[in-house]
């Protein structure tokens, strides 16, 4: 059994359409899968039909952007009802914030000497409701400003880079509420990717997530080093949390592992799938 509960399609900033992504993952031997696009469940219905047709166990999902203090945190919601009304309203709100942020990012880039890339980034984005920094990275590459995605994030778009724009995402607790309200289980995405000046802040984040109603952690993720897993497992034991595994796959030429290749579900822990119907 190969499990992967975190990946992106063209419904957000991934390369493959939902059905093509399911096909690709099945070809790599993935048997249990979830689609978790940024701030939208628009790809879920297509992915579910494809995954079930391929004989995979499928879970609906979303990766909700939120903030905790000054940090942008990601909470994955698994098993959500993708037609939930509050979720749909939130998705609409995210779309507006992302469109507004796109203009602000483009302005910052222009102040740094880049051409106006707002229109092009929107054109590149397959789902106009999710204009992502990845689409700006592609526009920067296309315009010949940078050589690759890494350079785009290092020089311009990364969380500590000069064209970064903090969007008014919901608070961590509101993101967890949104997921739970839509019938889903809240999973803290890639805890090892958040950089805090003080290391104890990360422990505080996990504690707040649990207090807010979060029930699982990504203990194995394509977006965090493998060496981080033991610390995640310690938290899972301390707070009696379930555990999840995800590649965070975006594209075939990307920097992250392919679907199903982030690593196995650790033994002796409660897999998040045990909490899902
Ligand atoms: P957004 O949700 O639009 O702010 O964009 C976040 C996305 O940008 C993430 O999901 C990643 O796909 C990508 N990203 C963020 N930081 C980096 C980075 N340092 N290197 C490469 N990609 C990144
Ligand atoms: Mn992404
Ligand atoms: Mn993420
Ligand atoms: Mn992700």
Asked if 255 and 248 touch (Cβ cutoff 8 Å), the reply is: no
Of all residues in the chain, the percent with pLDDT exceeding 90 is 98
Using one digit for the tens of pLDDT, what is the confidence trace for 225-265?
999 999 999 999 999 999 999 999 999 998 899 999 999 99
Cα 268 to ligand 2 centroid, rounded to whole Å? 30
Residue by residue, DSSP assigns 186-235 as EEE--GGG---SSTHHHHHHHHHHHHHT--EEEEEETTS-GGGHHHHHHH
Asked if 36 and 82 touch (Cβ cutoff 8 Å), the reply is: no
Least distant ligand from the CA of 248 = 4
C-beta of 6 in contact with ligand 1 (< 6 A): no
Cα 255 to ligand 4 centroid, rounded to whole Å? 13
Which atom of ligand 1 is nearest to 131's Cα? Answer: 3
Q: Alpha-carbon dihedral of residues 96, 102, 104, 105, nearest 10 degrees?
A: 150
Which of 153, 154, 167 most suits a substitution to test ligand 1, by most atoms within 8 Å of the C-beta? 153
Residue 117 and residue 135: Cα distance in Å, rounded? 10
Residue 16 and residue 24: Cα distance in Å, rounded? 9
Least distant ligand from the CA of 224 = 3
pLDDT at position 49: 98
Average pLDDT of the residues in 86-115:
98
pLDDT at position 220: 98
Q: Could you give the 3-state DSSP secondary structure of residue 100?
A: helix
Asked if 64 and 179 touch (Cβ cutoff 8 Å), the reply is: yes
Average pLDDT of the residues in 95-124:
98
Residue 245 and residue 229: Cα distance in Å, rounded? 10
C-beta of 15 in contact with ligand 1 (< 6 A): no
Average pLDDT of the residues in 112-119:
98
Which of 157, 168, 255, 256 most suits a substitution to test ligand 1, by most atoms within 8 Å of the C-beta? 157
Q: 3-state DSSP: the chain helix, strand, coil percent, rounded to 5?
A: 40, 15, 40
Which atom of ligand 1 is nearest to 134's Cα? Answer: 8
Q: Give the rounded distance of the alpha carbon of 50 from its chain centre.
A: 21
Distances (CA, A) of 103 to 96, 170, 207: 11, 20, 35
Average pLDDT of the residues in 204-233:
98
Predicted confidence (pLDDT) at residue 82 exceeds the cutoff of 90: yes
Average pLDDT of the residues in 162-168:
96
Q: Which residue lies with its CA nearest to atom 6 of ligand 1?
A: 133
Residue 142 and residue 211: Cα distance in Å, rounded? 44
Q: Assign 3-class secondary structure to 33-89.
A: EECCCECCCCCHHHHHHHHHHCCCEEECEEEEEEEECCEEEEEEEECCCCCCHHHHH
Cα 64 to ligand 4 centroid, rounded to whole Å? 9
Using one digit for the tens of pLDDT, what is the confidence trace for 138-163?
999 999 999 999 999 999 999 999 99
Predicted confidence (pLDDT) at residue 75 exceeds the cutoff of 90: yes
C-beta of 153 in contact with ligand 1 (< 6 A): yes
Asked if 121 and 106 touch (Cβ cutoff 8 Å), the reply is: yes
C-beta of 133 in contact with ligand 1 (< 6 A): yes
Predicted confidence (pLDDT) at residue 70 exceeds the cutoff of 90: no
């Amino acid at each position: 059994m190969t499990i992967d509960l975190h990946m992106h399609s063209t419904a957000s900033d991934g390369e493959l359409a939902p059905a093509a992504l399911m096909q690709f993952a099945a070809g790599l031997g993935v048997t249990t899968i979830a689609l978790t696009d940024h701030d939208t469940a628009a790809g879920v219905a297509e992915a579910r039909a494809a995954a079930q047709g391929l004989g995979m166990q499928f879970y609906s999902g979303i990766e909700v952007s939120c903030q905790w203090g000054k940090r942008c945190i990601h909470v994955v919601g698994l098993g959500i009802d993708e037609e939930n009304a509050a979720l749909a309203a939130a998705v609409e709100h995210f779309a507006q914030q992302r469109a507004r942020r796109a203009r602000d990012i483009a302005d910052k880039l222009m102040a740094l000497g880049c051409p106006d890339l707002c229109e092009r980034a929107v054109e590149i984005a397959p789902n106009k409701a999710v204009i992502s920094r990845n689409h700006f990275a592609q526009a920067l590459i296309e315009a010949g400003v940078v050589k690759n995605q890494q350079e785009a994030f290092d020089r311009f778009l990364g969380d500590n880079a000069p064209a970064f724009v903090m969007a008014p995402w919901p608070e961590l607790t509101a993101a967890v509420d949104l997921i739970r309200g839509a019938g889903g289980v809240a999973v803290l995405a890639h805890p090892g990717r958040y950089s805090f000046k003080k290391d104890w802040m990360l422990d505080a984040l996990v504690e707040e997530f649990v207090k807010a109603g979060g029930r699982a952690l990504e203990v194995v993720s394509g977006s965090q080093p493998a060496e981080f897993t033991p610390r995640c497992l310690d938290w899972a034991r301390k707070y009696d949390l379930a555990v999840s595994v995800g590649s965070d796959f975006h594209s075939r030429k990307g920097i992250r592992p392919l679907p199903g290749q982030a690593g196995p579900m650790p033994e002796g822990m409660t897999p998040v799938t045990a909490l899902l119907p």
